[in-house]
Structure 1
């Protein structure tokens, strides 16, 4: 069963994060490898309190050109995929979603 990881990353860091996720076994769909959907947008955030932001400063609203990345992965490697995302991502707190796919027949 393939689930989907969706995350947001600064444009310049996208390739390296994807490379690390591909090494975990994410991005495999049947006989295809290194599959991902990437779209550009503008992220915003305001670091507060004891944050240690990679970009910007505590208290200031930041706007950062980012990519939204969607990548499939086998459900059984989810823990490893998320550990890799945290280790590879430049942000102190990466924003992500895991979309759990329902089982279905391929008739």
Structure 2
């Protein structure tokens, strides 16, 4: 039996202030469409934690100090064949030097 990956789940960590830009970027590439609905996503408030190293150029925080800030964890389903295009659109608007984005294959 061959299992095909038709969809992937994206988990994106982003400042709440950037949610409108993220929604627009996702819509621009057709991500988050399920049947006759678009802009389908879920988000929850989380607390991010990090420590910028000497070479970092942090969006927020101070080099060498442990930082915490509120973020949103955004989750959505994307057609697997559009994942790369979607990731590029997300990275284009994401304010972090190294965005935290998880790509999880969905079997089916």
Structures share fold, TM-score greater than 0.5: yes
RMSD, matched Cα: 1.0
Q: Tell me which residue corresponds to 1:46.
A: 51
Q: Normalized per residue, which structure has more strand?
A: 2
1:91 and 2:106 aligned: no
Deviations 1:37-71 (A, max 9, x none): 01001111111021100111211111110000001
Structure 1 stretches of 4+ moved >2 Å: none
Match of 1:9 among 3, 14, 19: 14
**Unaligned segments of structure 2, at least 5 residues:** 1-5
Structure 1 residue runs of 5 or longer lacking an equivalent are: none
Aligned residues: 103
Q: TM-score, normalised by structure 2?
A: 0.90
